[in-house]
Amino acid sequence: MGMTMTQKILAAHAGLDKVDAGQLIMADLDLVLGNDVTAPVAIHEMEKMNSKGVFDKDKIALVPDHFTPNKDIKSAEHCKCVREFAAEHNITNYFEIGEMGIEHALLPEKGLVVAGDVVIGADSHTCTYGALGAFSTGVGSTDMAAGMATGKAWFKVPSALKFELVGKPSSWVSGKDVILHIIGLIGVDGALYKSMEFVGDGIANLSMDDRFTMANMAIEAGAKNGIFPVDDKTEQYMKEHATREYEIYEADEDAEYEKTYVIDLSTLKSTVAFPHLPENTRTIDEVGDIKIDQVVIGSCTNGRIDDLRVAAKVLEGRKVAKGLRLIIFPATQAIYLKAMEEGLLSTFIKAGGVVSTPTCGPCLGGHMGILASGEKAVATTNRNFVGRMGHVESEIYLASPAIAAASAVTGKISSPADLGL
Amino acid sequence: MKAHGTVHKYGDNVDTDVIIPARYLNSSDPAELAKKCMEDIDAEFVTRVKPGDIMVANKNFGCGSSREHAPIAIKAAGISCVIAETFARIFYRNAINIGLPIIECPEAAKEIAAGDEVEIDFDSGKIYDLTKGTEYQGQPFPEFMQKIIKAEGLINYINS
């Protein structure tokens, strides 16, 4: 029996010719990531260790993105702790305000992750880098501490689900709709402990930004990782962003998958996840009349340049509905600058939206757009759990940038088609 | 090693955002986090919980964010063990790493009710519902996991 793509990457990093699902391995890490919420806990754990140093100052990334620019004194203290640790250990990839961005958009953009890597991050959406053909997974702060100290982590080799993507998505249907459709299909624990391996000719019709969005939300199906094969688009992306050598792994022909799902992208419609789980999906024609108070476009899921271009296309020459708040978060400084140069920010502001500096902000109920009781938001973010964006009696509807932008114009959940687009 | 206490019962997909809402993550102090534990789904939990109590839930407990603050808050609130049908994988790792005992046992998760008095033997993996007089077989804790839990977490265990 052959190995899946994930298993091959893990085997190579464990110095083994072959691994099987369920096997416990110790793997070498190419990168260890933490942010301003999780890194302080990891740093505190490291201080308790007998060995104090880091394994490689170039293979640790520290990105203060969650509650930054510092939202209060306690957050400022956390950021200070991370900053001082980075200085003390001479960490190459510490990104201060002004050069930082949302971690999972920033690391690929900076070329810090390439195909074939094994990456752990103390943030559940670390699985995003599967879009590049890397194995990456979220861990907690203690694992991050052990990773920073030793450059290694133990893993239970995952079994896998195969998603064969065929066809071409219709206009306004994006990677967000594909992944919401899949989560609706298999549930929030449908891939628990497993890999989600995306394959098929349909992948060629998905941009890198679509793939980042999809791999990012693998965790919302409970997966250990989501991963895409490396194709021309991936190689082009890495050539533009990275200088490191990359290694392309492919699943064996006889790799074992617990189940295969065939997804015809041409049949998918824009999809919205209703409160309070990402699996509560409905297609746009089943949504009904839902009035909303706020629209958030951004996050590690959908704050990339393609996302902002789509939003601007919908908002161009239109106005946000009276009384509705539209808040847009370019995910990194480079994306922010590009959006400015392309005139997208001007479109947003003329439409009546506000544009924030890169931050996770309201996605996790941190700051910059918290909901009051009874309020409803359409967000391009990744979770719609109880209280995630504010009051426990507020509601979050997860959707693509196209749906979010159209909803901002009408004041209720809508599609670009409702605007005649 | 044993745990003994009163049960606090929850349903499916208890996520780490409700275990400890992000608005409190500007602190990493266990005592402070414990005061806000479960606030968004069970505001009375922190006034009701007694040291040694046990948490029981259904499938996918601890899903969502990787915040280690979630098991830290549960442990600091006084919970001695969490029993669930299944755990989300990052939470599972985090709980072991910080020394919070957790057991997967679908039958126990289904049948044990809120308020029941429960005893758990970590060596055998046996779960006793003393209120109902029932017994369940959970996964016994391997020796290294018991050592991590006794050492109050992975880092102390590595150091020792």
Q: Each residue of B48-105: pLDDT tens digit?
A: 999 999 999 999 999 999 999 999 999 999 999 999 999 999 999 999 999 999 999 9
Residues of A in contact with B64 (CB under 8 A): 124, 219, 383, 385
Kind and range of the H or E element at B83?
strand B81-84
Residues of A in contact with B44 (CB under 8 A): none
Q: Tell me if B26 and A189 make a contact (CB, 8 A cut-off).
A: no
B118 pLDDT exceeds 80? yes
Which of B2-6, B39-43, B156-160 is predicted with the least confidence, judged by mean pLDDT? B156-160
Q: Tell me if A48 and B154 make a contact (CB, 8 A cut-off).
A: no
Residues of A in contact with B154 (CB under 8 A): 142, 146
pLDDT of residue B152: 86
pLDDT of residue B46: 98
Handedness of CA A107, A111, A115, A117 (dihedral sign): negative
Mean pLDDT of chain A: 97
Residues of A in contact with B159 (CB under 8 A): 48-50
**Whole-number Cα distances in Å, B159 to A50, A122, B94, B99, B153:** 6, 22, 18, 14, 10
Give the A-side interface with B, CB within 8 Å: 37-38, 40-41, 44-45, 48-50, 66-67, 71-72, 74-75, 78, 122-124, 126, 138-143, 145-146, 188-189, 192-193, 219, 222, 224, 277, 364-366, 383, 385-388, 392
Question: What is the distance between the alpha carbons of residues A40 and B136, in angstroms, rounded to a whole number?
Answer: 39
Phi, psi of A368 (to 5 degrees): 65, 40
Residue in A49, A75, A138 closest to B90 by CB: A138
Closest alpha carbon within chain B to A388: B17
pLDDT of residue B143: 81
Over residues A338-362, the pLDDT tens digits come to: 999 999 999 999 999 999 999 999 9
Residues of A in contact with B97 (CB under 8 A): 140, 142-143
A6: nearest Cα among A216, A223, A166, A276: A223
- With cut-offs at 50, 70 and 90, classify the pLDDT of residue B146: confident
Q: Tell me if B158 and A146 make a contact (CB, 8 A cut-off).
A: yes
Is residue A369 classed as helix, strand or coil in its secondary structure? coil
- With cut-offs at 50, 70 and 90, classify the pLDDT of residue B1: confident
- What is the Rg, in whole angstroms, of the alpha carbon atoms belonging to chain A? 20
Residues of A in contact with B40 (CB under 8 A): 386-387, 392
Closest alpha carbon within chain A to B17: A388
| pTM, rounded to two decimals | 0.97
Alpha helices (runs of H) in A14-67, residue ranges in sequence order: 39-48
Residue in B23, B28, B159 closest to A40 by CB: B28
Closest alpha carbon within chain A to B28: A41
Q: Tell me if A140 and B66 make a contact (CB, 8 A cut-off).
A: yes
Residue B9 backbone zone (phi > 0: left; psi -120 to 50: alpha; other: beta): beta
Q: Tell me if B66 and A145 make a contact (CB, 8 A cut-off).
A: no
Q: Tell me if A140 and B40 make a contact (CB, 8 A cut-off).
A: no
Q: Tell me if A364 and B59 make a contact (CB, 8 A cut-off).
A: no
Q: Tell me if B68 and A366 make a contact (CB, 8 A cut-off).
A: no
Q: Tell me if B60 and A142 make a contact (CB, 8 A cut-off).
A: no
Over residues A77-111, the pLDDT tens digits come to: 999 999 999 999 999 999 999 999 999 999 999 99
Closest alpha carbon within chain A to B42: A392
Q: Tell me if A67 and B59 make a contact (CB, 8 A cut-off).
A: no
Residues of A in contact with B23 (CB under 8 A): 365-366
B140 pLDDT exceeds 90? no
Residues of B in contact with A278 (CB under 8 A): none
Interface mutation vs chain B, best among A385, A392, A394, A396, most B CBs within 10 Å: A385
pLDDT of residue A399: 98
Task: Judge contact between B158 and A146, C-beta under 8 A.
Answer: yes
Task: Judge contact between A296 and A327, C-beta under 8 A.
Answer: yes
Kind and range of the H or E element at A25?
strand A24-28
Residue in B28, B67, B97 closest to A44 by CB: B28
Residue in B26, B63, B65 closest to A189 by CB: B63
| Residue A109, burial from CB neighbour count under 10 angstroms (0-12, 13-18, 19+) | buried
pLDDT exceeding 70 applies to what percent of chain B?
100
**Whole-number Cα distances in Å, A185 to A182, A289, A331, B73:** 5, 24, 28, 33
Closest alpha carbon within chain A to B66: A124
**Which regions of chain A are under pLDDT 50?**
none
Q: Tell me if B67 and A193 make a contact (CB, 8 A cut-off).
A: no
Residues of B in contact with A44 (CB under 8 A): 28
Question: What is the distance between the alpha carbons of residues B88 and B84, in angstroms, rounded to a whole number?
Answer: 10
Residue in B15, B26, B66 closest to A139 by CB: B66
Percentage helix, strand, coil for chain B under 3-state DSSP, each rounded to 5: 35, 20, 45
Question: What is the distance between the alpha carbons of residues A48 and A36, in angstroms, rounded to a whole number?
Answer: 19
